Amino acid sequence: MNTGERASARKDPKRVILFDTTLRDGEQCPGASMTVRQKLEIARQLARLGVDVIEAGFPAASPGDREAVWQIASEVQGPRIAALARCVEEDIEIAAKALQPAGKRARIHVFLATSPVHRQYKLAKAEDEIVELAVAHIRLAKQWVEDVEFSPEDGSRTERDFLVRVVEAAIEAGATTINIPDTVGCALPQEFAELVSYLLTRVPNIDQAVLSVHCHDDLGLAVANSLAALKSGARQVEGTINGIGERAGNAALEEIIMALKTRSDAFGGLYTGVCLKELVKTSRLVSRLSGLPVQRNKAIVGENAFAHGAGIHQDGILKRRETYEIMDPEEIGWGRTELPLTKHSGRAALEERMKQLGFQLTPEELAALFQRFKELGDKKKFVYDDDLVALMVENELSQLPETYRLEHLSVVSSTGALPTAAVRLRKGEEVWTEACVGDGAVDAAMKAIDRITGKRGDLLDYQVRAVSQGKDALGEVMIKVDFGEGCVITARAASTDVLEASARAYLNAVNRALFWQSSCTGTSAVTAP
């Protein structure tokens, strides 16, 4: 926050700043890697939700992250756009340049480990060196942007006296937000609350910055710790949608938002500025684009969050909703019925529905999606929103230059016989057909693709799930494939035929591997995925 925003926050001490790190810390969850386009779509939805800060990525980590931060800073209006950087000069410079389109909304988030175990084993540095490094790099970041956030990594395991010293020095150097991370998720609510209180009373210049917390869920306490910290005086909370993130994940923002809203009495009237009706839509979009399903019994956004199976509960709900529900499901985006599209729906109807789902399509993207939509419409009665998002993801992942396209798949499999798959692929004007046997129908199809493309991958993970409802439900296949030389790719595809979806997903992975290989050899100017 700049000086004016800090003053405004002091005038309204009940306002909680929401810092969303779904696109940075959330994406670090294994299997959650997203493309630049997918990150941009999520960032737009986060802006519609009304979060205050979007941490768009870690620009120094990869060219892809750099591009994502630049695109989000360029195209997403409203929230502040933050980028992570180590206390390293090059990291800060790269982050600053990626954030340039955000102008005065740009925030550089620098971090440096401070706990004894990190000082001794990771950094091999003494306390004085840690303070000097933090101060020097905060000052460097201030040369690029007005808004600088500093995180003493592993803050919850740092000696309190030293933490006070580091925080005071960071604020004096120009940090406008001080974030205390429970990096390994070891804190308990009471002790984390006490730590926040300790800092608020012992750091002399703490009133010159916003105190933030960033909790991980290793003990399942990320949300509880975050709420305890807010009750003790922290006024920024960091987390992710659906709680995705490193290891067991981060604090789930939707749970924090609704806890503050539902139990305002317990939190002294603390509130956020979000549009509650966007919560469910945001959760579903993050789930679909990250490939991480939301568990059915997940609080707030799980499918069973407002489902009642017991007769006594159903009877009570029918008489008065408040008997067994403390929240109104419609208030957060549940209960709105969207009419599904059919094969007779036109291009304009499809485009409008995609806008409602948060996607802004170019004419070329709409044309490609419309073709797949019509193909799907011929196979099932209704095309639901989740079907459309699945098609969008598949269509995006397949948009690579000089890729193979599946034209035909035929599979023969029966008890006691060798599964056989015949595959026909097209690349430009050339067409190849190959047949292979395998351990199963999916294996046979993948081997046929390997033989045509000359690119063999080892399947590390294979998941199938129904995207929508009914016997004609769209099935989505997500796979993780290792092509060697550090090229591990996650790909997805959807079809009413799971075997076809499997072949399409594997072909998407092969196409991305070939694209990655060409970029590494210098034949393409585009960076590796």
Sign of CA dihedral 374, 388, 80, 92: negative
Verify that 47 and 192 share a domain, yes or no. Answer: yes
The answer to whether 250 is a known ligand-binding residue is yes
Please tell me the predicted confidence (pLDDT) of residue 8: 47
Please tell me the predicted confidence (pLDDT) of residue 7: 47
For residue 525, being part of any structural domain is answered with: no
The answer to whether 25 is a known ligand-binding residue is yes
Q: Is 44 helix (H, G, I), strand (E, B) or coil?
A: helix
Verify that 419 and 374 share a domain, yes or no. Answer: no
Please tell me the predicted confidence (pLDDT) of residue 237: 98
CB 175 within 8 A of CB 209: yes
Please tell me the predicted confidence (pLDDT) of residue 398: 55
The whole-angstrom separation of Cα 496 and Cα 504 is: 12
Place of tokens 């892809």: 64
Question: Lowest-confidence range among 204-213, 367-376, 413-422, 512-521?
Answer: 512-521
Please tell me the predicted confidence (pLDDT) of residue 526: 26
CB 369 within 8 A of CB 389: no
| Chain Cα centroid distance, residue 322 | 33
Instruction: CATH number of the domain at 71, please.
Output: 3.20.20.70
Give the bridge partners for 424, in sequence order. 408, 433
Please tell me the predicted confidence (pLDDT) of residue 249: 95
Q: Assess whether pLDDT exceeds 80 at residue 157.
A: yes
For residue 337, being part of any structural domain is answered with: no
Task: Give the mean model confidence (pLDDT) for residues 101-124.
Answer: 97
Please tell me the predicted confidence (pLDDT) of residue 480: 87
Verify that 18 and 61 share a domain, yes or no. Answer: yes
Place of tokens 């949300």: 223
Q: Using 50, 70 and 90 to split pLDDT, how confident is the model at 292? A: confident
Helix/strand/coil (H/E/C) assignment for every residue in 206-233: HHHCEEEEEEECCCCCHHHHHHHHHHCC
The answer to whether 242 is a known ligand-binding residue is no
Q: Using 50, 70 and 90 to split pLDDT, how confident is the model at 523? A: very low
The answer to whether 508 is a known ligand-binding residue is no
Using CA atoms, how far residue 68 sits from 29, 243, 377, 408, in Å, is 17, 21, 33, 35
CB 181 within 8 A of CB 150: no
Q: Is 318 helix (H, G, I), strand (E, B) or coil?
A: helix
Verify that 359 and 440 share a domain, yes or no. Answer: no
Q: Assess whether pLDDT exceeds 90 at residue 278.
A: yes
Verify that 352 and 442 share a domain, yes or no. Answer: no
Mean pLDDT of the residues in the chain = 87
Verify that 125 and 167 share a domain, yes or no. Answer: yes
For residue 335, being part of any structural domain is answered with: no
For residue 331, being part of any structural domain is answered with: no
Tens digit of pLDDT for each residue in 389-402?
A: 888 877 665 555 55
For residue 332, being part of any structural domain is answered with: no
Verify that 161 and 33 share a domain, yes or no. Answer: yes
Please tell me the predicted confidence (pLDDT) of residue 527: 25
Verify that 384 and 474 share a domain, yes or no. Answer: no
| Chain Cα centroid distance, residue 377 | 30
Q: Is 393 helix (H, G, I), strand (E, B) or coil?
A: helix
Helix/strand/coil percent split, the chain, to 5: 45, 20, 35
The whole-angstrom separation of Cα 292 and Cα 32 is: 7
Please tell me the predicted confidence (pLDDT) of residue 309: 44
Q: Regarding predicted confidence, which is higher, 49 or 347?
A: 49
Closest by CA to 381, choosing from 464, 499, 470, is 470
Q: Assess whether pLDDT exceeds 70 at residue 323.
A: no
Closest by CA to 241, choosing from 298, 323, 177, is 298
Residue 518, judged by CB atoms within 10 A of its CB (0-12, 13-18, 19+), counts as middle
Using CA atoms, how far residue 133 sits from 87, 130, 193, 210, 276, in Å, is 7, 5, 28, 21, 41
Q: Using 50, 70 and 90 to split pLDDT, how confident is the model at 307? A: low
The model's pTM: 0.81
Place of tokens 């937000």: 177
Residue 488, judged by CB atoms within 10 A of its CB (0-12, 13-18, 19+), counts as middle
Q: Regarding predicted confidence, which is higher, 36 or 219?
A: 219
Residue 228, judged by CB atoms within 10 A of its CB (0-12, 13-18, 19+), counts as buried
Please tell me the predicted confidence (pLDDT) of residue 519: 56
Tell me 336's DSSP state: P
Q: How many residues are there in the chain?
A: 529
For residue 340, being part of any structural domain is answered with: no
Residue 33, judged by CB atoms within 10 A of its CB (0-12, 13-18, 19+), counts as middle
For residue 443, being part of any structural domain is answered with: yes
Q: Using 50, 70 and 90 to split pLDDT, how confident is the model at 344? A: confident
Q: Assess whether pLDDT exceeds 70 at residue 104.
A: yes
Domain boundary among 397, 414, 430: 397
The whole-angstrom separation of Cα 434 and Cα 440 is: 16
Q: Regarding predicted confidence, which is higher, 164 or 525?
A: 164
Q: Using 50, 70 and 90 to split pLDDT, how confident is the model at 522? A: very low
Tens digit of pLDDT for each residue in 414-471?
A: 887 889 999 999 988 899 999 999 999 999 999 999 999 998 889 988 988 887 767 6
Closest by CA to 149, choosing from 104, 181, 179, is 179
Verify that 221 and 241 share a domain, yes or no. Answer: yes
Q: Regarding predicted confidence, which is higher, 494 or 527?
A: 494
Question: Lowest-confidence range among 58-67, 300-309, 480-489?
Answer: 300-309
CB 427 within 8 A of CB 402: yes
- Domain hosting 52: range is 3-290
How is residue 363 written in tokens? Answer: 């004419």
The whole-angstrom separation of Cα 350 and Cα 279 is: 23
Verify that 392 and 437 share a domain, yes or no. Answer: no
Instruction: CATH number of the domain at 503, please.
Output: 3.30.160.270
Verify that 193 and 69 share a domain, yes or no. Answer: yes
Residue 472 CB contacts under 8 Å (≥ 6 apart), including other chains? 379, 380, 381, 496
Q: How many domains does the chain have?
A: 3
Tens digit of pLDDT for each residue in 263-274?
A: 999 999 999 999
Verify that 142 and 253 share a domain, yes or no. Answer: yes
Q: Using 50, 70 and 90 to split pLDDT, how confident is the model at 186? A: very high
Please tell me the predicted confidence (pLDDT) of residue 356: 76
Please tell me the predicted confidence (pLDDT) of residue 489: 80
The whole-angstrom separation of Cα 298 and Cα 300 is: 6
CB atoms within 10 A of CB 417: 9
For residue 528, being part of any structural domain is answered with: no
